[in-house]
Amino acid sequence: MSRLLKQQQALLPAPAHELAAQMAEAGYKVTQPRLAVLRAAVALDKAFTVHELEQWLLQRNESPGIASIFRTVKLLCDLELFQRIHGLEDCHRYSISGGHAHHLICVSCGALKSFDNCGLRDLITTLEQQTGYHINDHVLELFGRCPRCLAV
């Protein structure tokens, strides 16, 4: 079976392949169900829900049990390869993290841009001085409409 696995990995689009490699590096096995989730996430190419992953995989008759999809998403979040998206309506979407912390999301189609330079340093310094808090983390998500949806 491990030969089959290697064959499939070789056929993966680069991003899923890279994510799988990072999973392996972290000491986790790159199994078929986990690969399937990675492929789905890469293919969807937007902020996705677990349900959307499952639907994508069901259409291709390669869906693992829903528990395994949830487990894989959680594992990838813990490894900081996936990231939870904080939406305006709900917080049940995830994205491939790419090491970036923040997102710009199209409320119309779900298209997503990641960026890391959030320019909050001054605000954080000011707030620390004003409040006496020691700030060490933050959530920042921006919402709007992407060029394609604006053109429609």
Partner DNA sequence: TTTATATTGAGATATTGTATCAACACTACC
Partner DNA sequence: GGTAGTGTTGATACAATATCTCAATATAAA
For DNA, the binding residues (CB under 7 A) are: 1-2, 5, 28-29, 31-34, 49-51, 64-68, 70-72, 74, 90-92
Is 137 an interacting residue with respect to a copy of itself (CB under 8 A)? Answer: yes
Q: How many whole angstroms separate alpha carbon 7 and alpha carbon 29? A: 16
CB of 64 to a copy of itself, least distance (A): 25
Report the b/e string of 78-99 with b at 16+ CB within 10 A.
eeebbbebebeeeeebbbbbee
CB of 75 to a copy of itself, least distance (A): 16
CB of 76 to DNA, least distance (A): 11
Q: How many whole angstroms separate alpha carbon 9 and alpha carbon 18? A: 10
Among 4, 99, 116, 147, binds a copy of itself (CB under 8 A): 147
Stretch of 18-26, 33-41, 50-58, 103-111 contacting a copy of itself, by CB under 8 A: 103-111
By beta-carbon proximity to DNA, the closer residue of 27 and 132 is 27
By beta-carbon proximity to DNA, the closer residue of 22 and 118 is 22
Q: Is 9:21 a contact under the CB 8 Å cutoff?
A: no
Q: How many whole angstroms separate alpha carbon 85 and alpha carbon 32? A: 26
State the binding partner of 32 from a copy of itself, DNA, none, CB within 5 to 8 A by kind: DNA
Q: Which helix (H) or strand (E) holds 79?
A: none
Placement of tokens 């320019």 in the chain: 119
